[in-house]
Structure formats: C-alpha cells, structure tokens
Structure 1
Amino acid sequence: MADTLTVQELTDLRLNSLKTAVDDWKTMTGRLEKLATGGDGQVSGEGLRSAANAATWQGVNATVSRGFVTKTAKQFSDAAAEAKSVHGLLHGAHSDFVKHKADLRTAIDDLAKRNIYVNGNGSVIASVPSGAAAGNSDDIHKPTDGELEVAQRRINKILAEASETDRIVARALRALVKNKYDFTEKGADSVEEADLAQGRADAEYWKKEIAKGHVEDWDQEKLDRFNEMLEKQRDNPGFTETFATGLGADGTLQFWRDLADPGQGNTPEGERAELLGQVQQNLSMSLANASHSHSPEMEAWKRDVIAAGGKQFGHEGIMVKPYGFQIMSNLMVKGKFDSGFLNDYGDALRAFEEKKKPFEPAAVWGNPGIASQLDYTGKGADGDFGEPGTDPMGGYLKAVSHNPDFATKLFNDDGWADYLVEDREFYDEDDPFGKGDGTTQSRDALGKALLAAGTGLDPDQPHAVNSYEHTDAQRQVLENTLGRLSAKGDDFPPELRDDMALLLGNWGDEVHRSASSLDTADSPLDYEELLEVSTQVSRDQDAYGILMEGVNHAIVADLHAEHEGDPEEELKRAGQTVGFMESARYHAIDTDKDDPSWPAKWGYHAYGGLANFVPVVGDAIQRGVDSAAYAWQLEEQQRIDDKAAIDTTQNFQSRQTYLRSLGEEWSALHPDHRLSEKGNEYLRQDSIGNSAFNGNTTANRIAGQH
C-alpha cells in the first residue's frame, strides 16, 4: 500500500479475509505448540531434544548427528514462536483496522451533519445544499474555515493512525520471514511490541550512522531517508528515548550543530535548507516525546542537556561556537515537552542570563563569534529557508506555547512574568545590532506563549472551542498581562498585538461585559487596563481586525443568550461596547497620525486563526455574527475610502451601519418588544446609538480625553 492510506482505501478495506487468517493462525499456533512441547501422546520437538541429550553419542555422531538433531528439535519451538507472533500481529491488525474504519465512518457522518464532505482522497470541503434542496435557506449551516481546518485534522489523524498500523505490521511480518531456510526464534507478539522494537532498531541504526561523523556531508538522499524515518518514529518511545540516550546530551547537541551549520561558507540553502527545516521539526517532536520518559537514562539525558547549556560547541575548521542553550532551544520548536523538563530548562537558561550582568542579549547570543544558523523552520530576508535562531529564549518560548498548562503556570509566576514581559531585552536576530527589519522573533514567540497561557490552547493547533469558560489560573494570566502591558503605554511591543487580540477574543464575553460596564470601577476586567491594551492592539490593522471580529462575536452571542429583565439591556450593552471600541480605535490612530500606512490598505477579509479561539456557535448565532461583521467591514472600508475624519467626541457616528445591523439582529430575537414594532426603528436606533455615545464618552474620559 501507499505510505498513507486514503479514505477510499480504508473504507474499501475488507476485513473478513483478515479475520479468517487470524483464526487460521490461531489454529496453526496451537498445532505447532503441540509439536514443539508435546501433548496427547504426540511426538514433539521437546521430546526429541530430551532424547538426544539423554543418549550416548560416539564418534562423528557426537558432533554432527547430535547437533543436527538438537537444531532440528529447536526448529519446532521456533516455528511455534513464529506462528504465535504472526497470529498476534494479525489479531492486533484486525482489531486496529476495525477501530480505524469505525472512527472514519463516525467522523464522516458527524461532518456530514455540518455540511462538510470528505472525498476519497481524504480532503474535506464545504458541501452546502441549495436553499431549494434544504427547504429553508435560513437553516442551512455554512462551515467556517475554522471548522474545515479542525475537520481536516480529524480525518488526517485517522488516516495516519491506519497507515501506521499497516506499516508496522507489514514490516514485522517481513522480518519474520526474512530467512527462508530457518524460523525466527522470537518476534513481536503484538502491534505495540513490534512498534517499539522497530523504533529501537531505527534508533540504533541512525546512532551508528551519526557516530561515523561528518553528518554535514550526508547527501540529499540520505538526509531525506533520515527525515522520513523521524516522521514515522517521532511519537514512538521505542525510538525517541533510544535515540536521545544513545547519542547522549552532548552528542545530540553536536549533531544538530554540525548538520545545521557546517561552516566554511557551506551554509545550507535551497532544497537542503527546506529539508533541514523538516528534519528540525521532526527531531524536535522526537525529543519532546522522549522528554516524557522518566527512566534513569532519560532523566540523566535531561540533566546533562541542561548542564550543557552554558557549554560551547565548535565544529572542525571554524571558530564559531554556539552555546548549548542556543542549539537545544532550536530543537524545541515543535512538540509538547514535559512540564518538568521545561521548568528546569527555563530556570537554567534564565539563571545563565541573569549571571551575565549587565545582560545584553544581542551581545551575548548575537555575537558573531558564537552565532550560527540553527533555525530552518522559517524563511530569512532572502526568501530562502534558514534564520540565525540565535536567541535561545525564542525556541524555549515556542516550546512553552505548545504546553499550555505549563505556560499558564509559568506566567502566573511573577518572577518569570516580570522577567519576560517587563525586564528582559529582546533583539532582532537577523541583525542583532540594529540593522535588521526591527522584528524581534523571540518576542513574537513570547506572544504565542502568553496566548497559550491565557487560553489553555496551543496556538499552533486548530481547535473547536465550545464555550467562554476558563480556569481561574488562566484568568489570572489575563488580568496580570493586561496590567503589565497597559503600563507600557505606547511602548507596547508590536509583536504582541496580534496575540493579545486573539487572547481578548478568546475572553470575548469578559471583554464585552467590561467594555459595557456602567460602573467602570466594577467591571469584570480592569476597565482602564483593557482600554489601553485595546488601543495599543488597534495600532496594527490586522490586530485591530482580529480584535473587532472577536468582540463582534461576543456581542452577538450575548444578544442570543438567556437573560433576565428587559431585553433592551442587551441592546444597550452592545452599543456601549461599540462606543468603547471606537474610542480605542481613535486613540490608536491619533497616536500614529503621522503614519497612514494601515488605513490606506484596508480591505474586507477574514482573519486567520481567530476561529480557533472563539467558541463554535449555532447556525443562527453565526449568521448574526457574519451579518454584523460584514456591515462593520463595509463601513470601515467606506470610512477609509472617503477619508472620513473621526469625531473625537462622537466616534460612534461612524458606526451607524454596524449599530443598525446589531439592532436588527436584536429585533429578530425579540419581535414582540416595543422597539421591534413597525414604526419604532428610530427608537431602537436611538437606544443603541445613545449607548454607543455613552460608551465612547466614558472611554474618552478614562483615557483623559474630554
């Protein structure tokens, strides 16, 4: 079969023949075991061996005949053992494939209910019936990009697991019959056992290849084979632990140092650089998997890697010697590392930095005497794969973001939060001494780690969020982060804007209730801190768009929620929040009034990633979200096209279309309310409009504008 099974292949897989084979091999195993050990008065290999050992052999018979008989007798037990292995593998394969097929069928049926179709190759697409076919076009669910992303990941996971079973069993069966003149003494008796054994074998093979040295001279074909093996074995403890402990801490670090940057002007580029990016990610995931082992050997490896952080690793023929922290952090860019290891590694890295007082990251990590090109997961300024990756805090924070529970713990440690958000310097790794584009890659990783800490979600994985519920620890991260970042004022790091927009969108209900508070001193989140952070986020066009999409989602969801009292309160709250957001937007533009770049390039589009952080809602709510978002986007475009000025005292005036859309959504939910009656449109618009004015006035007052 192909490396990866398709939906069609898995669906069409007939398991009756496999079940028959399982039964036949069970019978065969029983018969061979009787031949091997005896029973029911049968002649057996064990009896033959015992008789041979008890007999008195003379001359040639003592050496030749006796050995032949003994070896022949052993073949009976070997045959029984091999049959047992075959039966165990086939039985496990049958059980696994029954589950894989059932999982696929369940997934296809579930997705079909959401109008998502899975084709024979495994690709998911939206398949929305026409209004006529559905009977009522208002009830047709239209899958979002986020839903399609999660659906594709679900299908891919099932197909990958089925392909893994196929590969493991096929390899194990081939190993059993590799000698056509002899039976295998012992093979794996289950798919799980075979998987671990194959992983250990692969680790031993590549450990020997690496030990030969000069890995930088591996040709493309060999490097590709190594990468394919990593991709298959990166989640197999049999491989990952054996590989890591086999190389040892220093060996692991030296291996990547030699492979990534050979020196002598031979820095990898083109196809090799792109392939190295895949190797780096698969090796990172392998080490992440290994880090969860607590065997004595693996615990020693973890301690030794951390201890090697302050050690420099050279390469034959060149003077550049990066630190172990720099190398290891570039092997932590993917995968979920063990929380205990992340804790110990982070403490050691921070201690190393704090000992170098005054600590200047660019001078320490970016120094040309130690800086190597160690990161191939992204493209550099020349458009080719490969970046310096010199700041080890960047790779560490990526690893933190992939373990959200640990991220939450880390940023609830005031010492760590202060160090990362307030105290530590960051630098442009492309040119550490101020000649790059100004983007600080490690601070971008900081944003992802904060996002994970405050949401409990891995930013690099698609999710289907079902509610706005959070833990107390996640809320503490949000509140503390708002406090630290709002205190920065206009020095708010640009790299954090998009991540803070996503974080606020994930907490949209709290943001909406805070922005619409009548008493700013009693809002769920600190009103002034929220306003300042919203203003700083709004200084970037895309981040502003993400924030508004998230807030819009929360407003519409609130309109649809169950409430006590007069429903007009939800209408007024919607207006109040719109006014708050308009104030934040105005102050952002006023801060950067001499930089017209982002208002000049506005265009209607959706914002990638937001769907992974806001709750999946019912079709009725989603239609309201889409309708309001469309009105807001068109209004934004019109305002920019017309170069319409923003009135500092009545910012809500430029949001009349958006407010009208929200009002219409509210009326559709409350058709019997007096503000929904025919002829009362002006009263409804006055209610939400005046609330927007109040929200705007309050926010301006808090911001110091009158």
Structure 2
Amino acid sequence: MAGTTMTYEELTNLRLGTLDAAVTDWETMSKRLETLATGQRGGVNAKRLEREAKAADWKGVNATVTKSFVTKTAAEFQDVAAQTKSVLGILRDASAEFKRHKATLRTIIDDVGKQSIYINDRGKAVAAVPSGAAAGDAQIHNPTDAELAMAESRVRKVLREANETDRIAARALRALAKNRHDFSGDGPGGLKEADDRQGRADADYWLKKARETNPGEWSDKDVERFNETLKNQRDNAGFSERFATSLGAEGTLQFYRDLADPGQGRTPEGDRAKLLGQVQENLSMSLATASRLDSPAMDAWKRDIIAAGPKQFGHEGIMAKPYGFQIMSNLMVKGRFDSGFLDDYGTAVRTFETSKGRQFNPAAVWGNPGIAAQLDYSGKGGTPGSDPMTGYLKAVSHNPDYATEFFLKELPSDGPYTPRKTMADYLLTEREFYDEDDPFGRGDGTMQSREALGKALLAAGSGVNPDEPHLVTSYDHTQEQRDVLDKSLKVLAGKGDDFPPELRDDMAALLGNHGDMVHRTTSSLDTAESPLDYRDVLEVSKQVSRSQGAYGILMEGVNQAIVSDINAPHKGDPKEELLRAGQTVGFMESVRYQALDTDKGDASWPAKWGYHVAGGAVNFVPVVGDALQRGVDAGAYAWQLEEQARIDEKLVVEKRDDFRVRQDYLKALGEEWSRVNPDHALSVEGDEYLRQSAIATAALNGNKSANGEAGV
C-alpha cells in the first residue's frame, strides 16, 4: 500500500492473515537467531565465540586476519538477531494498528447506521432513509447535515491514521532491507520509535537544504516535497521539535519570510501561491505540535519567538521588513497551540501595540507599506496578512479552553479608581481593525482580524473549535462560558448600530449554542429576572438580524430551542411552554422589524432561502432526538417559507406589531406542542382555534414587550 492512499474500501476489505502469518514466522526466526547470537538456551553461540576469540592467544597471521574475521562474524550474528527483532517489532505493531483501524471503522459504520447514515465505497456519508411506503409506521431518523459531516469526518480520521501506519511501517522496512549484505543492529523497536526517527531524519534533511540554499529560490517541486513532508510529519513531535529548535526562533521567522515573499518582483502567485497556502497551514500545525512539548529546547524557542516579535525581518537591499509578530501570526492559522504560549504571545502583541501610545493605529503600524510583505496564503491567493491579531485569534479559536480564559482575562488597571477591563473589552470596543488588503484605501471593507475575532469569541462561549466538525449534544456550559456570553452581550449591545458586521454570524451561532437561555430570556414575563439581560439580547439580536445569513442562523437556533423546550419534561401545566413559544416568536419578529427599520434603504434581501440554507448554526446547536427533530424541521420549514414570501413580495413590516407572516410558524409550533401533549385540553380535536389563539396572544405580548423595551 505504501506510496498510495488507502481508501475506505481498501481498509474495509483489508485481510490481515498474510501479515499475521509473517509475524508468526518472524517470531520463530527471531527466537532462533537470538539463541544463536546470545546463547540464551545454551550451546554454541556468536556471543561466546566472540568472547573466546578475543581471549585466545592468536599467533602470526591468525592474530590479524582470522581473529578479525571471527569477531566480525560473531558481531554480524548479533546484528542479524537485532535486525530481525526490529522487523518483528514493526510487523507486530503494524498488524495491531491495522486491526485497531478496522475495528474503529466498523464501530463508526455501526454507529452511523443507527442514524440512518450509509458510508459508501468512497467513504462519503449519505442519508439512507427508506421511502414512506417502505418505512410504514416506523419512525425513521432523517440524518441532519451536522450528523453527515461528523460521520465523514470520523471516517477520514481513521483513513488518515491507517495511511500513517502504512507509510511509517513501509519506510522502516525499506530502511532495514536497504543493504542486502550488511546488517545493522540499531533498528527501531517498533512503529513509535520508527516514526520518531523518520521525523528527525526528515527534519535534518530540510534543515540542511534550508541552510545551504535560499528557500525563496526553491523550485515548485522542492516546495511540493517540503509540503508533503510537513503533511506527513506535522503531528510528529520528533520532526516538529527538531525542525523548530534547530532553525531557532529567528531562523524560523526568516525561513518563512524568505519562502513566502522572496522579494525582487518574485512575489508568489497562481499555483505557487496555492501550494504555499498548504505549506503555511501544515507548518502552522507542525509548530502547534512543537509548542505543546515539554522540553527545555522548546521552552527556549517559545521565549525567543516572543522576544523576536518586535524585530524586523527582510532581505538585503529590500525596504519591506515585516515584524516578527506578523510572520509568526501567519504561522498560527492552523493547529492547537499550547495555552501558555498563546497567553504569553498575546500579551506580548498587546504590550507592543499599547507601547505605541493611546493613539495607536494598527493600520499605520502593521499596514505600513514600508514593512508590508505577502505572508498569508490561507485564503484565495496571497495577501499581506499584516495584522498579527488575525493569525493569533485564529489560533485562539482552535484552542477553545484557552479562548474562554482569554476573553475573561483581566488587563492591568489604568489606576486605582479605574474599573478593571478584560480582553473582551479591549478587542470588542477599544482596539481598531482594518482591511488588510488595503489598509489606507477603500478595499471591500472586510476586516480579516475582526472575522477571526468572531471565531475566537464563538469558541470561547461555546467550548467548540469552529473549524472542526462536531456534534453538540446538550445546552450544558461551564460558568466561564456563560460569563463570556454575558460579557459579549453587554459589550456588543453597547455598540448599538456600530455593531461590527463581521461578528453577526458568530454571535448568531453563539446565541443558538446557548439557545435554552436565550429562549427563557425572550419569553420572560419579568425581564428583570430573565437568565440573560433582556435588553442586551434584544439589541444584539437586532444587530444580528441585519444580514440574511446571520438572521437565518439565529432563527434556526431559536427554533431548535423552542421545540426542545416543548419536548422537555416540566412541572406544572405544559401550557406554559406553548405560551413561551409564542412569546419568543413575538420577540423575534420585533427584532426583525427593528432591523428592517434600521436599514430602510435595503429592506428586502435579494437571495433565496431554500430549505436548510441556514446551516451556519448546525455545528453549534445541540443535536436532538428523532421525534423532536421532526418538530424542529416543521417549524424551520414554516418560518423559512414565510420569510421567502416576504422577500418575494418585497414586504416591509410597516407596523411594529404586524407579524401576520408568522401565522404558519405559530401553527407549526402549536401542532408540535399538541403532539407532545395530546391529553391537554388545548389539544382536543376541534379546539385548534383555542390553541392557536393562546400562542398568537402570547406572540403579541412578546412583540409588545420587545417593542416597549426598545422604545419603538
């Protein structure tokens, strides 16, 4: 298999009988050679022969030729035995690992099968739901987009690990068989040792090449080979530590500076830029692996990287010299970096910025054309990647536990009577951001570092890495994650209509992730006792609703929370959940009206909804059971169709209490409530009017409460 990529079908059908037979044969051979080499079971053996040859009184030619031959032959026997033991270790570990990979894959297939998901021969997850006629009265689960994505992700992970096993074992065996007429007694004892040795050897190869040649002048083929090495070794501690510490901190920064932007009119573009995008991400993951190692060498490297942040790195004869912080941050776009390093690095960046004075302008410092270079290839083509906060905040988002700590971190006080501020205050209200593609021009206005800020904030409040497929299974959160939500709501609500557009999608997803608390807040009769600040939720929801995508994410999360609440066990009259559902719908329609009123010049959205188009929340809203999911789908379908009708007819809410377009949605929620509570008086057949009157009245109350709080 080595040299090719193992497919799902190949791993599924892999037969290990031949490999197991080879393990048995090599076990037998190893024991016999061990006996010949060391004499463990008595008799003539190489070790005894060598000892006696050295002790004998050789004369004449025998003292030089024969003695040397005998002792060398004896040593060869020991080397053969050692090498045989090494081959056995590789084969035995490979067999065990492939069995583990196959068992894991089998478990995944069985698990996802229970969710009506089929993994095809290409490793793709597809819904396997029988037709209505075939299913009959059976309740068949219809897999969600999140479940399909997670299933594929799990399969890819196993295939990646199986290919790693295959690659490491094949390379180790080739190395042992390299010399047919000589044996080495220092082979690896198993796959783990082989992996470590291979990583260090690869690091040494590329370190030598980097020292002897200019990385900026490497051919595309060289860069492809380097990238392939990084891809294979990015999670290998042996490679990652050796490569980083041998280059040294400043050497690491200069290496990437040279590779990313050689200068002299040779700025990479086209296919070269795409290739460098892969190098950037794989090198980032390699450095992330190294950052988590507990060794004096890596501790020194991390300290030196931070110390090199304020220094500038360029090429001889070229003015553009980016800061170390700018280079390193572009090597933090992927992977989970050590929390301690992230904390120290972020503190250093902020200290550098604040040292420029209260009037610090990031665009003037980081975006200065005199230091600008093309360092970021993680998007489409190459861009300057000049704001170090962009890459740094991406790294923060990939370490959710640290992200939570980061946003709640208190900053040094400006004085004894000055309130203590947090990083959330600094990043959400004080620090300026700019369009890195055009710091001093108009550009398209997109602020890349603020987009990264949104992802970091989402990770902090949800505990989830936004760039990895996952399934959230409950609304459970730590107190610290709730504190992040509270803090972000307070700070962002205070910005009013200056709410950053780049944060809308992420705040919508975060509200959906905490959907239970949002629903309890928006359906509160006494806003002073709601779990979240009612006015803050109102203002942030309004700002989120100013863009179609964010509004869709918000409503998908809210709809799921409403239906989850209807289905959850409660004490007392379940009518409360019906009324709470209506109250929240009324609140959200007030929010929608306020958003439309804010942007009167563009009150209708041009894009079509389409069913489940609001999939941005899918990774953050808790997955629910089959029966509940049908209620969620019915509700989502109703409100999306109503919103589409509003768009098609270019409807503008002219009255703050006009939410007639939500009648179908309220009806769908009422029907779901009756399905859950069939014995309630409001669920009696023929009394649908009473049920709908109750939920519609609650919606009117929720609408009026929100309007009153907003003063509209």
* TM interval, short-chain normalised: over 0.9
Alignment partner of 1:390 is 2:386: yes
Matches within 5 A, 1:139-538: 139-357=139-357, 358-379=359-380, 385-414=381-410, 415-538=422-545
CA contact (8 A) 1:578 1:652 kept: no
What does residue 113 of structure 1 align with? Answer: 114
What does residue 601 of structure 1 align with? Answer: 607
* Deviation sequence 1:323-379 (CA, Å, 0-9, x none): 000000000000000000001101111101010112110000000010111000102
CA contact (8 A) 1:264 1:317 kept: no
Distance 2:181 2:573 in 1: 87
Distance 1:40 1:643 in 2: 92
- Compute the displacement of 1:643 (Å): 2.7
For residue 637 of structure 1, the aligned residue among 620, 644, 651 is: 644
Q: For residue 654 of structure 1, what is the amino acid of its counterpart?
A: V
- After alignment, is 600-609 or 257-266 more displaced? 600-609
Distance 2:530 2:559 in 1: 19
Distance 1:28 1:437 in 2: 70
What does residue 417 of structure 2 align with? Answer: none
Q: Percent identity?
A: 65
- Compute the displacement of 1:211 (Å): 0.9
Cα distance change, pair 34–135 in 1 and its aligned pair in 2 (3 A): same
Alignment partner of 1:540 is 2:580: no
* Deviation sequence 1:563-618 (CA, Å, 0-9, x none): 1111111111000000111111111111110234x523343242233111011111
- Compute the displacement of 1:679 (Å): 2.4
Distance 1:391 1:309 in 2: 13
* Deviation sequence 1:214-233 (CA, Å, 0-9, x none): 11111111111111111111
What does residue 653 of structure 1 align with? Answer: 660
* Deviation sequence 1:182-208 (CA, Å, 0-9, x none): 112211111111111111111111111
CA contact (8 A) 1:502 1:610 kept: yes
* Deviation sequence 1:384-425 (CA, Å, 0-9, x none): x11110000111000000000000001112432221111110
* Deviation sequence 1:257-300 (CA, Å, 0-9, x none): 01111111111111110010000000000000000012011111
Q: Residue 266 of structure 1: SS of its match in structure 2?
A: coil
Q: Residue 602 of structure 2: SS of its match in structure 1?
A: coil
- Compute the displacement of 1:124 (Å): 1.6
CA contact (8 A) 2:508 2:551 kept: yes
Distance 1:63 1:299 in 2: 52
- Compute the displacement of 1:59 (Å): 4.1
- After alignment, is 664-673 or 439-448 more displaced? 664-673
What does residue 7 of structure 2 align with? Answer: 6
- After alignment, is 194-203 or 672-681 more displaced? 672-681
Distance 1:226 1:683 in 2: 70
CA RMSD across the alignment: 1.3
CA contact (8 A) 2:593 2:656 kept: no
Distance 1:548 1:502 in 2: 10
Q: For residue 488 of structure 1, what is the amino acid of its counterpart?
A: K
- Compute the displacement of 1:647 (Å): 4.2
What does residue 77 of structure 1 align with? Answer: 78
Distance 1:407 1:688 in 2: 40
- Compute the displacement of 1:98 (Å): 1.3
Q: For residue 193 of structure 1, what is the amino acid of its counterpart?
A: E
What does residue 623 of structure 2 align with? Answer: 616
Q: Residue 461 of structure 1: SS of its match in structure 2?
A: coil
Distance 1:81 1:91 in 2: 15
CA contact (8 A) 2:284 2:332 kept: yes
Distance 1:550 1:540 in 2: 16
Q: Residue 117 of structure 1: SS of its match in structure 2?
A: strand
For residue 585 of structure 2, the aligned residue among 575, 578, 581 is: 578
Distance 1:41 1:349 in 2: 68
Q: Residue 386 of structure 1: SS of its match in structure 2?
A: coil
Q: For residue 259 of structure 1, what is the amino acid of its counterpart?
A: L
* Deviation sequence 1:443-465 (CA, Å, 0-9, x none): 00000000000000000011111
Distance 1:94 1:602 in 2: 53
* Deviation sequence 1:137-188 (CA, Å, 0-9, x none): 6x12111111111000000111111111111111111111101111122111
CA contact (8 A) 2:34 2:40 kept: no
Distance 2:51 2:535 in 1: 89
Distance 1:578 1:268 in 2: 52
Give the gaps of 5 or more residues in structure 2.
411-421
Q: Residue 582 of structure 2: SS of its match in structure 1?
A: helix
Q: For residue 192 of structure 1, what is the amino acid of its counterpart?
A: K
Q: Residue 468 of structure 2: SS of its match in structure 1?
A: coil
Cα distance change, pair 674–311 in 1 and its aligned pair in 2 (3 A): same
Distance 2:24 2:694 in 1: 75
Alignment partner of 1:662 is 2:662: no
CA contact (8 A) 2:596 2:653 kept: no
Distance 2:40 2:107 in 1: 47
TM-score by length of 1: 0.97
Distance 1:105 1:594 in 2: 56
What does residue 15 of structure 1 align with? Answer: 16
CA contact (8 A) 1:646 1:654 kept: no
Distance 1:193 1:580 in 2: 61
CA contact (8 A) 1:79 1:183 kept: yes
Give the gaps of 5 or more residues in structure 1.
380-384
- Compute the displacement of 1:40 (Å): 4.2
Distance 1:134 1:683 in 2: 34
Distance 2:407 2:221 in 1: 44
What does residue 104 of structure 1 align with? Answer: 105
- Compute the displacement of 1:673 (Å): 1.7
Distance 1:542 1:20 in 2: 58
Q: Residue 382 of structure 2: SS of its match in structure 1?
A: strand
CA contact (8 A) 1:177 1:184 kept: no
Distance 1:7 1:422 in 2: 49
Q: For residue 76 of structure 2, what is the amino acid of its counterpart?
A: Q
What does residue 382 of structure 1 align with? Answer: none
CA contact (8 A) 1:576 1:691 kept: yes
Q: For residue 660 of structure 1, what is the amino acid of its counterpart?
A: K
Cα distance change, pair 229–523 in 1 and its aligned pair in 2 (3 A): same
- After alignment, is 362-371 or 59-68 more displaced? 59-68
What does residue 683 of structure 2 align with? Answer: 676
- After alignment, is 396-405 or 585-594 more displaced? 585-594
CA contact (8 A) 1:652 1:689 kept: no
Q: For residue 664 of structure 2, what is the amino acid of its counterpart?
A: T
CA contact (8 A) 1:467 1:616 kept: yes
Q: Residue 377 of structure 1: SS of its match in structure 2?
A: coil
Cα distance change, pair 536–41 in 1 and its aligned pair in 2 (3 A): closer
Q: Residue 585 of structure 2: SS of its match in structure 1?
A: helix
Q: Residue 334 of structure 1: SS of its match in structure 2?
A: coil
Q: Residue 267 of structure 2: SS of its match in structure 1?
A: coil
